[in-house]
Amino acid sequence: MGRKPRQESETGIYHVIIRGNNKGRLFHGREDFDEILKIAGEYLSKYPVQIYHYCLMSNHAHLLIRSEVALQLSKYMHGIQRAYHHYYRKQHTHFGHLFQGRYRSLPIETEGYLLDCGRYIERNPVRANMVADPRDWAYSSYGFYANGKKDPLVTESLAYVALADRAEARQELYRRHVEVTRPYEELIDKELIGV
């Protein structure tokens, strides 16, 4: 039986998730995190996609990506995963599958959900009890949106821009939006990544 075709988003926006095989680690330390971010940036120049939000965890990663053509998203993700797997094999003397199947891509059909999905992605380290505050996790787009930190991977989302006219006001509103805990997020985690 073949794989089901991917559902295409009418907005061109997707919540993309990659996982380590059998929930195994994808990233063991700073060098691994830095390497995949470098690879993701290199492939942005090869394919017409934009990253709105991201968060790298030890055994999975979330990306909120805009790609007008679904095939370009597929090529982008395939390139990143292939290049990172090549690096990982050399760095960690790894054999076999690194990623658990193909990446997941969940269509984001409304602009209104864009900000909430970004919030969900950037709160991952807090929900996993890795940090108490999302600002304490270096491997996400939170610093870009909440504090104006430069991040060459991130394209500012239109939902974020619509929050306020001034950058400082947008950052403050975004910080408040992300700080609020929402009880349904644990249910979402179980469905999306099986934790």
- CB contact burial 157-179 (16+ within 10 A = b; e otherwise): bebbeebeeeeeebbebbbebbe
Residues of the chain with pLDDT under 50: 1, 193, 195
- Tell me if 186 sits within 8 A of 194, measured CB to CB: no
- Tell me if 192 sits within 8 A of 55, measured CB to CB: no
- What does the pLDDT look like over 78-124, one tens digit per residue? 999 999 999 999 999 877 889 998 899 999 988 778 899 999 999 99
Domain boundary assignment for the chain: 13-193
Both tokens of 80, joined, read: 């990143």
> Rounded to an integer, what distance in angstroms lies between the CA atom of residue 4 and that of residue 39?
28
> Rounded to an integer, what distance in angstroms lies between the CA atom of residue 50 and that of residue 42?
12
Return all residues near 33 (Cβ < 8 A) that are at least 6 apart. Answer: 27, 56, 138, 139
Crossing angle for the helix pair 111-122 and 167-179, to the nearest 10 degrees? 70
Domain 13-193 sits in CATH 3.30.70.1290:
yes
What is the value of pTM for the model shown?
Answer: 0.90
Which residues, in sequence order, are bridge partners of residue 66?
13, 50
Q: What is the pLDDT of residue 1?
A: 47
Q: What is the pLDDT of residue 159?
A: 93
Across the chain, mean pLDDT equals: 90
